[in-house]
Amino acid sequence: MPFESARSLAPVTVLPSVGSTFDVVDPRAAALSTWATLDQRAGRGRLGRAWVAPAGRCLAASILVRPTSPPDAWGWLPLAVGLALAEAIDPLVPTATVSVKWPNDVLVDGAKVAGILCERRGDDVVVGVGVNLVLTPDELPTDRATSLRIAGARGEAEELADAVLAGVLRGIRDASDLADARLHERIAGRCSTLGERVRVLLPAGRDLVGTASGLGPAGELDVDVDGRRERVSAGDVQHVR
């Protein structure tokens, strides 16, 4: 049965193909219900970006989450999912370094392997996850991206997708208290953005350039800019090298 490990943790609907897994989420379903595919035709990422990949090469999944934490802690959710993804990927690529990039990416050796998109729907949050499984270098959208296969993961796409999705579901289940300081410490320890020189493209079109120094109480990014602290709750972050 496909996604056997993930199905042992939550109801998983496997779609042969779909426009976007976001569009098939049933708000009446049980918490952690998941819609997953290896053939998403019209996915979307942050800031309205398209997310398209060859069939059978990437995992796309949407997970229905019902947070029990106060809404002011929900900003930690994409970071907690990133942590769960990173921990699920770790054993698949044992010679690589897996990290979380604020606010919603997972990197392997500094290149993007996965992205996260959280969309609030009333009292629920739909968590979208996209993971590059077995893409080859010439199939990648950018030279700043990678795949589990390129990073050394073995196994077929379906097997890798199951391992990753099970890890994400387990991590979301275990991170039920998004206000937990221990969870925040684990995220900070895995976040490769911290300590980096960064450029933050803010929603209003303004840029910040400085050093990422920490995470705020709601999962914001603190950036030291010319001796002053700027706290960023939303923005596109580039690691400046």
pTM of the shown model: 0.94
Lowest-confidence region among 43-52, 71-80, 90-99: 43-52
Q: What is the CATH architecture assignment of 193-239?
A: Roll (2.30)
What are the residue boundaries of the structural domains of the chain, listed by start? 4-188, 193-239
3 pLDDT more than 80 = yes
Which pLDDT does position 240 carry in this prediction?
Answer: 86
Residue 137 burial class via C-beta count within 10 angstroms: exposed 0-12, middle 13-18, buried 19 and up:
exposed
9 Ramachandran zone, left/alpha/beta (phi>0; psi -120 to 50):
alpha
Q: Which fold has domain 4-188?
A: BirA Bifunctional Protein; domain 2 (3.30.930)
Which pLDDT does position 46 carry in this prediction?
Answer: 56
* Token pair recorded at residue 106: 């997972």
Rounded Cα–Cα distance for residues 105 and 191 (Å):
10
Average of pLDDT values for 92-109?
97
